[in-house]
Structure 1
Amino acid sequence: MDFDRKIYFGDYRCTNLKKLAAYIEELNETIEPLFDAHPLFKGEYALDYYEYLSRCELNSEPIEPKKVFEYIAPLYSNLPDWRNPGTMINVIPAVNLVSAATSSVTQMFNPNFAQDTYSGNLTLAELESVKYLSQIIGWDWEKSCGVFTFGGTGTNMYATKLALCNADAESGKYGAVKGRYFTLTSKNGHPTHYQICDWLGIGSDSCIEIECNPDGRINVSEVKRVIRENIEVGRTFLGYNMTGGSTNELIVDPIKEIYDLNDEIVKDYDLPYKPMIHVDSVLGWIFLFFRYYDFEKNPNDYPDDVLKRIKSMYDHVFEFKYADTLGVDFHKTGFCPYITSAFVVKDRSKFFNLNPSTSIDLKDMKYGDYNPFYTSLEYSRTGVGPMAALTCLKSLGTNSFCKLVGDLVLATHIFRKRLKDNPHVFMLSDGSEGFATLFLLVPPRYGKLTYSTVFSLTDGQTKEIKDYNTRYGKFVLRECIERKTNFLFTSSRSYTLPGTDIKIGAIKAYPFSIFLTEENAEVLAKEVGESIQRFTDQDGDQACTRDEYFVDMTTAGKK
């Protein structure tokens, strides 16, 4: 029995964009009742996955679109709304609607970015986006290249694979040698730095974690010692996976110092190759746009203390130009939909170590010559990332990126300042240049905590404070679900004070909505203060019983 195919696939004699728009509008009407301008869409967290799946049955006959939309609409319940100023549970941005529209249309035509002949001229979006990224980094765009891939894990995997090929050209053909290689990351580095070494077969232990200075940046003297120690026992040094903006404090490692040290190591050991420097800058890259900001004239009129923070971050990311490769997440700090990650390489000839025979000079490239599948991990590659990134870059421009980021820094500064005045709060991120606001809710019997008293806490006291903050995190979630408050953030039991091994835990508030203004930062801080008082009065006795609703991804999988 046949069915009307045009309902589901459109008509090949037209673009069908009007039909797509009509379906989006119909789905919107179905989902609309779940939305009420709150951090969370309506719904309940009491969901039993097994019970739900036990009721699911796949239909044998087609279902009309309206009925399908009615069926899937409940799946949008409990969804966080990243545009809402009160949604502060992770670094996930509001999506640029122009990018979202482009992404939807791109998906409908289903280009495969493995090569240009499968994608028409759409692959130019990747080349153009990489050019702009190279320029804001400070690289020569005619010599650089890049590829969009499956998230920050993908960018780190490309970096490590490239470093392996660079140090051992035959590894791709004959395989990695057990225990032979080593690479370095900082204690504040992302867990994927170890995981990709596991996935690439060189072993997670080959990724050596280096202690950080009290400011959270990698200890370069220790880097030097570890490199020398390992090279002198015969191990092959692949390179460095540096932090270009940590999730919590937005810490950036000293890239220029690492660059200088790398030259020293190559010279001292007469290495036939130069170990590669990768910067995992999926968060911090956004401050590269301040290359175009006039800090003297300060056209956005930021207060001196806020301008100083922005300038300090730009001075750190300015050193990215000394790196060999960079990871960029537009879906984190670039206001794009998932997944929009780019891996960018300073020297395109190094990138083609992945497949040397396919290298072609950019100046010689014509339509039919752009074949990323020769060097990319994926043979099937979506065009959504490059199209979303280019659309966002062109629609906003450099000045708007600076304005959005600067305003977030300003609003975060105000939010912290007001929160710090609360007698129950010990601010952990007061001097942080990051977006995240980290603080401890202090049990009343401890009085006012200071850093010196934190260092003198016993293990039992540290656990008591962690438990107290975990209860408050659950209390916040319950009140948000019940619509008693208009904000939502999370607690973490694993948070460790930078430069120490003290796992004190923390409340993590990521104020990352582009609609977070100075005014509603004040309002939110006041509402948080009222919430803290209610919790303190009842000591969290009626908090949720569920251990975790939002997993702390910043330390998951960390050794």
Structure 2
Amino acid sequence: RDRLVEEFSLDYVPHIHADAVIGWAWSVFNDYDFDQNELEFRHRTVRALAGIRRRIQHLHLADSVGIDFHKTGFTPYVSSLFLVKNAHDMRLVSRKPEDMPYLFQSGQYHPGQFTLETTRSGGGPMAALANLKLFGKRGLQSLLGHLVSMAEALREQLEGHAATTVLNGENFGPVTLFRVYPDGVDTFDVPRRERTEVSFREKLREYNRYNHQIFDLIQQEALSGEGVVLSLTDCYRETTYGEPIVALKSYIMSPFSAEDSVHSVLDSIHRARERLQDR
């Protein structure tokens, strides 16, 4: 940033905000010894966590950070934090007392200058503080490492199945994006052709519809109290010829998830595929 300020002769220093509402929590691994690996994470998990640390270790360089404790802090919704490095920067989002004549009559503490004072419950901040004190660094390391372990186990299972392909294999977090295909599809070659070959457009659309149908069946099962809850994105990314690629999404966030939970995902996919074949 300083180099750009000098290069373009800026008369101000740009404010750098890090939208780390999910990734902030992995900062607890900044000083984790992956060689010693005291928490005994499996090798694939250690590799993923080390990859996350390489990306998150520079978070402290940001001027401000957005944090959602209700995501990776395991608190109820809503519990968020806007954190600035320099208190002076809070004036960038504050209101002037003269604009709010019915507030700020006395005292020195006036959060209403930068937030909706008197309209929000204190439950969110208290929940965040309680969890940080309860878990501590080691507790969060254990929880987050477990989620990554389960996500890695799911990816390994999906990659080993002839009818599924993982789209975000290089992702190190708990989110897994994948596609499901009918029998007889070469899942090693077809994903590449979907992304790059315009002549494959109709097949891409056909398999997009297929994934929508798989999602609908899994969703029906989940709403009846069985199976698993997955989500769907209509456009994981666009192909080189401008078509959206539909993807199913698994977001493992429960600390109670286990290998059986991973098998449940595969079982739900299998049942949905069988139901489509029987139609």
Q: TM-score range by the shorter chain?
A: 0.7 to 0.9
**Higher mean displacement: 487-496 or 333-342:** 487-496
Deviation of 1:328 after TM superposition, in Å, equals 0.3
In the alignment, structure 1 residue 515 sits paired with structure 2 residue 240: no
1:447–1:355 CA distance, 2 compared to 1 (3 A): closer
| 1:219-234 pair list within 5 angstroms | none
Counterpart among 508, 513, 528 of residue 268 in structure 2: 528
Deviation string, structure 1 residues 218-272 (Cα, Å, up to 9, x no partner): xxxxxxxxxxxxxxxxxxxxxxxxxxxxxxxxxxxxxxxxxxxx22221122222
Tell me how many residue pairs correspond in the alignment: 268
Determine the structure 1 residue equivalent to 2:82: 343
Unaligned runs of 5+ in 2: 98-106
Counterpart amino acid of 2:25?
Answer: I
Determine the structure 1 residue equivalent to 2:102: none
Determine the structure 1 residue equivalent to 2:48: 309
| 1:112-511 pair list within 5 angstroms | 262-355=1-94, 368-378=107-117, 380-444=119-183, 446-450=185-189, 451-454=191-194, 455-456=196-197, 458-483=200-225, 485-496=226-237, 502-511=243-252
Q: Check the 8 A contact 2:217/2:272 in 1, yes or no.
A: no
Structure 2 distance, partners of 1:330, 1:499, is: 37
Deviation string, structure 1 residues 508-548 (Cα, Å, up to 9, x no partner): 1112211112x32453244235324423522xx4xxxxxxx
Q: Secondary structure at the match of 2:67?
A: strand
Q: Return the TM-score normalized by structure 2.
A: 0.86
Q: Secondary structure at the match of 1:520?
A: helix
Q: Check the 8 A contact 2:26/2:56 in 1, yes or no.
A: yes
1:499–1:459 CA distance, 2 compared to 1 (3 A): closer
| 1:64-79 pair list within 5 angstroms | none
Determine the structure 2 residue equivalent to 1:14: none
Q: Secondary structure at the match of 1:313?
A: helix
1:357–1:488 CA distance, 2 compared to 1 (3 A): closer
Determine the structure 2 residue equivalent to 1:4: none
Deviation of 1:456 after TM superposition, in Å, equals 1.9
RMSD value, Cα:
2.5
Q: Secondary structure at the match of 1:393?
A: helix
1:434–1:501 CA distance, 2 compared to 1 (3 A): farther
Q: Check the 8 A contact 1:412/1:521 in 2, yes or no.
A: no
Counterpart amino acid of 1:492?
Answer: T
Deviation of 1:500 after TM superposition, in Å, equals 8.9
Give the percent of matched residue pairs that are identical in Structure 1 and Structure 2.
27
Q: Report which of the two structures shows the higher radius of gyration computed on alpha carbons.
A: 1
Deviation of 1:291 after TM superposition, in Å, equals 2.6
Unaligned runs of 5+ in 1: 1-261, 359-367, 542-559
Q: Check the 8 A contact 2:235/2:244 in 1, yes or no.
A: yes
Q: Check the 8 A contact 2:214/2:273 in 1, yes or no.
A: no
